Chain A
Amino acid sequence: MAKFTFEEFSRVIAAEFNVPASQIIYVTTASDIDGWDSISHATLIMKLESAFNVTIDMDAAFSAESAGELYALAIGG
């Protein structure tokens, strides 16, 4: 069982981009969120790692196409 839920995960993403948490759903992609580009993606991954005490493979993170795929990487899926 994951140590943190997608809802918790999405709140960190939402906070990073100053958007309501409801805007970050499983299929949300970078193009859906203003300011989510490759630069902020690196910052985001570091924030997620710090928030949940996990290590996310950076190459895989840049291949992830959605918030859901990022979550799967974070929980080791």
Chain B
Amino acid sequence: MAGEKIVFFGNCQATALANVYSNFFAFEREQKVFRINGQERGTDEGRELLSSADIVIWQHFDFPPKMSQAEINPKSKHIYFPMVTCGWLWPFAGQERPSNERIPERLSGPYPGELGDRYLNRMIQEEVAPQAALDMYKNMDINKDVNLDRFLELNLSRQRKRDAATGFDIASCIEKNFFERRLFLTPNHPGLTLFAAVVRVVYQQLGISSVDIDFALSCIERTPFPTEETPIHPSVISHYKIPLDAEVEKYSYFQEGEFTFDQFVCRK
């Protein structure tokens, strides 16, 4: 309805949903769209948004943030969507580099956790030279350190639980498209196929017709997440039989260009 205040709550996935909705639907429907994350929720502005929202789209996490009823407008409509993650391609992901610094141009810093690697971080802390680090890491059979099959099943199991809690079936979509190139760009940045799967369910609940949703998705040429990509370890590619050539595959890194796995590991 005109004048409605819609709040998307969550991480970058909530941001992507909010941005696409704003671009294609909010203006015509005279709705105001906002996005807040877990940290912003604790601010005065965040509390005000949640308590006055007409519709809140909640992202469902494995570690859900603690909420009090006082924070939520009892008259608002609530829509839920699951966090969509890919841990199995990046078993050591999620930790920013020790040297990472917040800079004005990039608040998450040039070496954010989304592109990070705990194993490489340990070698940075131990001051291992880049080429030596590459030699050690690249020749490592990741499956001997992390049971990749079990890790995959655990990740999918968690996805199924988040799906079941929110009325989605992202896990099946993942399984169906498992070998798609760039099914995920980084552990928490899904490619267009999975993003579209979330969009369809959320936007339908917001009252958008299937035809209009399909049209919006047809206008999006790539997933709305940032362009940077986390390189996949060659032994992980080999184990899961992903159709990538580990030696030549290149991964985008902000505006600096594209780099092979070897080049990524050696960059300080």
Contacts and interface: CB of A to CB of B under 8 A. Distances in A.
Interface of A: 16-18, 30-31, 34-43, 45-47, 58-59, 62
A35 B96 contact: yes
B154 A42 contact: yes
Interface stretch (B43-51, B114-122, B252-260): B114-122
10 contacts: A17-B95, A18-B122, A35-B96, A35-B113, A39-B90, A39-B94, A43-B146, A46-B147, A47-B146, A62-B158
The 8 closest A-B pairs by CB, nearest first: A35-B95, A39-B87, A38-B62, A35-B94, A42-B154, A40-B94, A37-B94, A18-B122
Contact of A42 (B63, B118, B122, B158): B158
A56 to B, nearest CB: 11
Interface residues of B, number: 30
A73 B63 CA distance: 17
B85 interface: yes
- The interface centre, meaning the residue of A17, A36, A37 with most chain B CB atoms within 10 A of its CB, is A37
Contacts of A38: 61-63, 83, 85, 87, 158
Q: Please classify the interface of chain B as helix (H, G, I), strand (E, B), loop, or mixed, using the class held by over half of its residues.
A: loop
B116 A35 contact: yes
Contacts of A40: 87, 92-95, 118
A37 B146 CA distance: 17
A16 B157 CA distance: 22
A46 B151 contact: yes
- The interface centre, meaning the residue of B63, B83, B98, B187 with most chain A CB atoms within 10 A of its CB, is B63
A77 B14 CA distance: 37
A43 B93 CA distance: 10
Contacts of B122: 18
Interface of B: 61-63, 83, 85, 87, 90-96, 98, 113, 116, 118, 121-122, 125, 146-147, 150-151, 154-155, 157-158, 161, 187
B62 A18 contact: no
Given A35-B113, A38-B83, A58-B157, A43 B92 contact: yes
Contacts of A62: 62-63, 158
Contact of B95 (A31, A34, A41, A58): A34
B180 to A, nearest CB: 20
